[in-house]
Amino acid sequence: MDTRLLRTFAALARTGSFTATAADLHLAQSTVTVQIRTLERELGTRLFDRLPSGALPTSAGRRLLREAEEVLDAEARLRAVAAAGNGDGADGAVEGSVALGASESLCASHLPRVIASLRRTQPGIDLHLHPAGTAAAVEGLRTGRLDLALLLEQDVTDADLVARPIAREPLVYLAAPGHPLAGHEADWDELAAQSFFVHEQGCSYSDHLVRTLLTLPGPPPRLTRFGSIEAARSCVAAGLGLTLLPRATVERQLADGQLAEVHGPPIPPVPVHLTRHRRRWTSPAARAVADELTRLLPA
């Protein structure tokens, strides 16, 4: 069986779109259609339902997807062993593409220096960053769209994943410099009386803050969720309320006086878990990226 058919199958299951799959694999859309039909004919079963909203894997498609991914992993391992046998990487350099999912805050604060370091030490590695919250990153690991992910979570309990904490992100309450609480101590009652601009649902530290605020007596606080840290940061800088963010994402704004710290109730730093899928092979390039992340992210 031509593994190119399996690669197209896995990509279509991931994207749910013939057009997106064609773009991802640099193929004509008609080629994707022909390859899926060919694979369905070879396997003797329908893999996708073609719906107006896209391509949805059938029950057979869902069952066979895991097997297809294992074949593709085996092919990748075979190629890596062959490359090593030919003397490639004898000087310690490795080559390959690695997809890394991480929160917007980590992408902006810590990962640029990881990329810079990799370009110096491992120029053959092409690292692709995918900003993603926990749910999207976990789904990316499951579907194979991501090789690694950095999850800002107290614990990672998904049985399909292998995770280890490699860093910790300190959190800080923030206000505009002219806000009454800027630079002052504040208890939970005082915080609950404020408007809060927080990151979207699924962000562990924002969800923890929201749950705490909603359990306090009295009227519920005004809460606004944003998909962008920059949007929350801008609203706070304009004096519209408070937020809670990783300190690394606001160091410059604090130093420039655009934002001020509020000394609120202690919230422990959130761990950064380096995460991969338990059943998928980790390529030499992905291992090199993992080593660099472990070395450079602040413990």
* Architecture of the domain defined by 93-169+270-299: 3-Layer(aba) Sandwich (3.40)
What percentage of the chain's residues is helix, strand, coil (to nearest 5)?
Answer: 45, 25, 30
Instruction: Write out the chain's pLDDT in tens, 299 residues.
Output: 789 999 899 889 988 999 999 988 889 999 999 999 999 999 999 999 999 989 999 999 999 988 898 888 888 778 767 766 555 544 557 888 899 999 888 998 899 999 999 999 999 999 999 988 888 899 888 877 899 999 999 899 999 899 999 999 999 999 999 999 999 999 999 999 999 999 888 788 999 999 999 999 988 889 999 888 889 999 999 999 999 999 988 999 999 999 999 999 999 999 999 999 988 888 889 999 999 999 999 87
Whether 18 contacts 55, CB under 8 Å: yes
Instruction: Decide the pairing of beta strands 270-277 and 148-152.
Output: antiparallel
Instruction: Decide the pairing of beta strands 171-175 and 243-246.
Output: antiparallel
For 171-268, CATH gives 3.40.190.10
Instruction: Give which of 223, 208, 224 is closest to 169, Cα–Cα.
Output: 208
Q: Which CATH number fits domain 1-88: 2.60.40.10, 2.40.50.250, 1.10.10.10, 3.30.200.20?
A: 1.10.10.10
Whether 138 contacts 227, CB under 8 Å: no
Radius of gyration of the chain (CA): 23
Where in the sequence of the chain do the CATH 3.40.190.10 domains occur?
93-169+270-299, 171-268
